[in-house]
A and B are shown apart, each in its own frame.
Chain A
């Protein structure tokens, strides 16, 4: 099951129908899941899962589709969060304004960093994303007057949505904030899924599999990769802004490179080859983090062990395993 497959005109009909059913099921499951989520767990955790789900989906545009292993995505999550947070803490609480600031600052920073490093390949690219992440971290750490330094940016207020005629709508209540996060989360799924299936997404996927060949077909691959990098940065910035709104503080840890590693783990746990994979990965990761931290103070050890097991035995992640089983069941059904 690849998200990036063209509609095959001569595919086996039952398999094709199965695929369509599967896609529809996934869409319904996504909407149902975001509705049910707050019923089965504290609403803060549910909100956090959707925020990190957004962050992980954006990261997976780079890892899964473009094959760009970025270990510095927390820089964009953090900068989006700090930018929006700064406005919210200083009395500018208009929702469109802060969301735009988060989107633009994440995208702009990604354009600057990406412009410098996108032509580097493999391990060099990876190390540079990491290095720039730390650079951003230390800038935020030292710029105490604006960012709050190591204490984090505190005093973030929840935004207000002013609608003409209807009146203004505040997100002080955690349930209304969850609603906002749901809308942005589903919007991100829709936009990113469409992107991956567009010619842009297909050519990116081609460049992941063989960059040199894709260039020799006449595509300016670095420009396409830079566009993906900027889009991922912008979406991550919005996720960061929502995180700051949720806890009313932007902690310095959120820009640390460890946060970049965590989001890569989420992608790996869930699976890179589908849109929902990273979201499931985010949910499992956050759930396990809570579980392990209750059980043992050295919980990161258990988490690390879990990631190692997934990478060794399920290279396509949890969703990869599930869709493999599903396709096998459909084929068996078609044969009978």
Chain B
């Protein structure tokens, strides 16, 4: 990649992560352009989610550097990285089961709107900015009607949409989506695809996804990983025509 530094939202160089004797991510260098949707493809165990966890600092690096714009974030804590504008969704739904849909989004919105988490004496309802922002994010994903439903009663598909809504409520610049359509019916996956389409351009999006159709339709560029290393990078068309990729991904 030769893109100038101004156009790069997030970049990693020489990332390594070992678990025991297994190298999950092996000297991965990757750059994500601002305002683009960049997908990461690869078979199970290729190291995609580990790469995500390194980028958001959920996991400690063994070696390498990560830059957010021009800032080195390799040593920062994950909550710090989140406050700098990196939001993510998880592969397994990470919603709060004992709360309503609105409360789930409110937790993210309160922080994003500058609310002080040490406000011991403030009523949660007396900070209207957070509530309004939460409602905006809910309505964007069409969840307003079920805002007061308990998360325990939601379908899996709605939980995935809620997770996206929570991610949006972080008011991020960069969004990392870990398999947003995993476990969804074709119809629900279509809905999530439309949502992601609508987010394109507004945010820099990095997406792990197994549904090749969705990846090809949505992505501006694609990185293919296998066994912890980058196998190929390029536009959807380049990737489609790449022999190595077909071997790595389809195992033929």
Contacts and interface: CB of A to CB of B under 8 A. Distances in A.
B12 interface: no
A322 B116 CA distance: 35
A198 B99 contact: no
Nearest to A206: B107
A200 B118 contact: yes
A214 B107 contact: yes
B148 interface: yes
Nearest to B127: A199
B106 interface: yes
B116 A216 contact: no
A57 to B, nearest CB: 15
A199 B107 CA distance: 8
Given A203-B117, A224-B118, A6 B103 contact: yes
B58 interface: yes
A209 B96 CA distance: 6
**Helix, strand, loop or mixed for chain B's interface?**
loop
Given A4-B99, A199-B127, 16 more contacts: A5-B99, A5-B100, A6-B100, A6-B131, A8-B102, A194-B120, A198-B124, A199-B110, A199-B116, A199-B122, A206-B107, A216-B87, A217-B108, A219-B117, A221-B79, A224-B117
A216 B107 CA distance: 11
Contacts of A201: 124
Nearest to A8: B148
B111 A194 contact: no
Contact of A6 (B116, B118, B124): B124
A241 interface: no
Interface in B107-165: 107-108, 110-112, 115-125, 127, 131, 147-148
A2 interface: yes
Interface of A: 2, 4-11, 194-195, 197-203, 205-206, 209-210, 212-221, 224, 227
Contacts of A2: 98
B249 interface: no
B87 to A, nearest CB: 7
A36 B131 CA distance: 41
A163 B102 CA distance: 49
Contacts of B103: 5-6, 202
B94 interface: yes
B83 A6 contact: no
Nearest to A9: B148
Contacts of A203: 107, 110, 117
Contacts of A215: 77-79, 82
Given A198-B120, A206-B99, A212-B94, A7 B148 contact: no
**Helix, strand, loop or mixed for chain A's interface?**
helix
A228 to B, nearest CB: 10
Contacts of A224: 117-118
A216 B100 contact: no
A198 B88 contact: no
Contacts of B95: 210, 213
Interface residues of B, number: 42
B170 interface: yes
Counting chain A CB atoms within 10 Å of each CB, which of B95, B96, B166 scores highest?
A: B96
A4 B79 CA distance: 23
A227 B102 CA distance: 26
A194 B120 CA distance: 8
B60 to A, nearest CB: 14
A213 B94 CA distance: 6
B56 interface: yes
B99 A209 contact: yes
Contacts of B203: none
B148 A209 contact: no
Contacts of B148: 8-11
B147 A202 contact: no
Nearest to B170: A217
A297 to B, nearest CB: 42
A194 B121 contact: yes
8 contacts: A6-B100, A11-B148, A199-B115, A199-B117, A200-B117, A214-B107, A216-B56, A224-B117
Contact of B125 (A6, A200, A214, A218): A6
Nearest to B84: A218
| CB-based closest 10 A-B pairs | A218-B82, A213-B94, A218-B83, A209-B96, A8-B148, A218-B111, A206-B107, A217-B108, A199-B119, A215-B79
Nearest to A203: B117
Contacts of B110: 199, 202-203
Given A210-B94, A212-B58, A213-B90, A198 B107 contact: no
Interface in B167-220: 170
B97 interface: yes
Contacts of B166: 217
Contacts of B112: 218
A52 to B, nearest CB: 24
Contacts of B79: 215-216, 218-221
A210 B148 CA distance: 20
A210 B96 contact: yes
A241 B105 CA distance: 42
A200 B119 contact: yes
Contact of A209 (B58, B87, B97): B97
